[in-house]
């Protein structure tokens, strides 16, 4: 059996002929039940990713390892997630990279945390504030499920980020909060001068208030944008945009903390 083959305990994604996706954690002796029959986990364990298996009813299922994006779209949700189309640009806008110390709020379902953890790698560290116990539980479970355990470089702190952040410095701050302007007085002193803050915001009034507050707190290079993706249907002569697209998720605001002399 090759090392790249699927192992017991792994998460896999089954994709049926109608492109429906199912996330399953493989265990010896378990079975996955579909309306078209069952599939024994043991028939999947040891197989090559990208293979086709058949249910007891004879229907075909493609087996792959979920990408981070697949997992985020399928994982259980407490709070509304940030979608992969925004998560990618957040990594570029915040310029989060290997070894960085990053501050985040709130944890929610953990989609943004998983993305930041991947970007900082094992040498980096992530501190995430979450005000709600139930979201903290859901988010940490999701993160551990995808990574196969709780990552040692991720600290989740239960509480309101506006109540203060311990005396430590961060290279980057990434926020998914309804009212980030309330947090700026306590988080800004914790961000290195030149450090970048990115805030995800669903509505226009939140963008206005955040941008004004960022300028008042000594940030510069403040930019606001939204990310529109338009998937295409490509089949034979039928090559065109999909009929339905996601019209709106949120806006992204990025800014740099300037040194005192700059203000
Ligand atoms: N980015 C997350 C979703 C976060 S939803 C994801 O992609 O999965 C926003 C979260 O912020 C909620 O869980 C909410 O409980 C938390 N929150 C709201 N205000 C907060 C505050 N002041 N301090 C810490 N967490 C807060």
The reported pLDDT for the residue numbered 95 is 98
Specify which residues 22 forms β-bridges with. 14
CA of 232 to the centre of ligand 1 (A): 33
Residue nearest to atom 22 of ligand 1 (CA): 160
Q: Name the stretches of the chain with pLDDT < 50.
A: none
Which three-class secondary structure string do you get for 72-123?
HHHCCCCCCCCCHHHHHHHHHHHCCCCCCEEEEECCCCCHHHHHHHHHHCCC
100 lines ligand 1 (CB under 6 A): no
pLDDT, tens digit, 9 for 90 and up, residues 29-46:
999 999 889 999 999 999
For a pLDDT cut of 70, what percent of the chain falls above it?
A: 99
Pocket of ligand 1 contains residue 130 by CB under 6 Å: yes
Output the pLDDT for position 240.
Answer: 98
Report the nearest atom of ligand 1 relative to the CA of 112: 7
Q: What's the CA gap between 168 and 60, in Å, rounded?
A: 53
Whether the CB-CB separation of 161 and 104 falls below 8 Å is answered with no
> Does the C-beta of 106 come closer than 6 Å to ligand 1?
yes
Q: Which residues pair with 196 in a beta bridge?
A: 172, 256
Tell me the best of 108, 128, 199, 206 to mutate to test the pocket of ligand 1, counting ligand atoms within 8 Å of each CB and taking the most: 108
Residue 81: C-alpha distances to residues 64, 112, 178, 202 (Å): 23, 8, 13, 11
Beta pairing partners, 40: 31
Q: Which two tokens stand for residue 80?
A: 């509304």
Residue 229: partners with Cβ closer than 8 Å, 6 or more residues away: 85, 245, 246
Quick one: pLDDT at residue 125? 98
**Span 104-162, pLDDT tens digits:** 999 999 999 999 999 999 999 999 999 999 999 999 999 999 999 999 999 999 999 99
Pocket of ligand 1 contains residue 135 by CB under 6 Å: yes
């Amino acid at each position: 059996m090759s090392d790249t083959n699927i192992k017991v305990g792994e998460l896999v994604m089954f994709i049926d002929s109608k492109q429906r996706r199912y996330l399953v954690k493989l265990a010896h002796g378990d079975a996955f039940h579909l309306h078209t029959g069952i599939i024994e986990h043991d028939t999947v364990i040891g197989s090559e990713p990208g293979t086709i298996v058949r249910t007891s009813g004879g229907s075909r299922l493609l087996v792959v390892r979920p990408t981070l994006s697949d997992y985020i779209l399928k994982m259980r949700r407490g709070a509304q997630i940030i979608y992969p189309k925004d998560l990618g640009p957040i990594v570029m806008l915040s310029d989060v990279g290997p070894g960085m110390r990053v501050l985040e709020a709130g944890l929610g379902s953990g989609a943004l945390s998983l993305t930041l953890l991947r970007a900082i790698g094992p040498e980096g560290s992530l501190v995430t504030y979450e005000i709600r116990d139930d979201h903290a539980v859901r988010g940490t479970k999701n993160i551990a499920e995808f990574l196969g355990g709780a990552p040692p470089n991720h600290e989740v702190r239960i509480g309101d980020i506006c109540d203060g952040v311990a005396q430590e410095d961060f290279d980057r701050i990434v926020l998914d909060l309804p009212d980030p302007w309330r947090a700026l007085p306590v988080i800004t002193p914790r961000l290195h001068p030149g450090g970048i803050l990115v805030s995800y915001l669903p509505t226009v009034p939140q963008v206005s208030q955040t941008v004004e507050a960022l300028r008042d707190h000594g940030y510069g290079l403040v930019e606001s944008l939204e990310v529109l993706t338009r998937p295409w249907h490509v089949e034979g002569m039928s090559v065109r945009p999909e009929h339905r697209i996601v019209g709106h998720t949120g806006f992204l605001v990025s800014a740099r903390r300037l040194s005192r002399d700059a203000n």
